[in-house]
Amino acid sequence: MGTFLIDLAPQDMARRLGDALGVYVDAMSYPRGTESQRASMWLEHMRRRGWQAVAAVEANVRAGAAPSAAELTGAPLLGVAYGYCGAPDQWWQQQVVQGLQRGGGPHRRSPA
């Protein structure tokens, strides 16, 4: 077995959404059922400008051979991360700006 980092295109993330949300809920120690509450939000995030995702997967490795793309695409998901470009009207960016301002950081907004 080996652990590999792979890019997840939007269609791959949509296909693996249940697995990805399961990993997320486990990592954050959220109660089961949180997956269904977050699924629509994650799907909406995938449409945002600059969205990219990666996953850590576990695949069988034969001596001297790398797993095929198909093997990696279907391999068990161990971890997932995604991000996208922020915008002033988004909750997370507003939280970061407010935190910076409270901490004496810059008061100007960066361009969207």
Q: What is the mean pLDDT of each run of 10 residues along the chain (112 residues)?
A: 94 96 97 95 96 96 83 94 94 92 74 57
Q: What are phi and psi of 89, to 5 degrees?
A: -90, 5
> What is the pLDDT, as a whole number, of residue 65?
81
- The answer to whether residues 88 and 112 touch, using CB atoms and an 8 Å cutoff, is yes
- The answer to whether residues 17 and 43 touch, using CB atoms and an 8 Å cutoff, is yes
> What is the pLDDT, as a whole number, of residue 17?
98
Residue 4 bridge partners (DSSP)? 57
> What is the pLDDT, as a whole number, of residue 111?
59
> What is the pLDDT, as a whole number, of residue 110?
58
Question: What does the angle CA 30 – CA 10 – CA 38 come to, to the nearest 5 degrees?
Answer: 20
Question: What does the angle CA 26 – CA 28 – CA 29 come to, to the nearest 5 degrees?
Answer: 60
Displacement of CA 111 from its chain's centroid (Å):
24
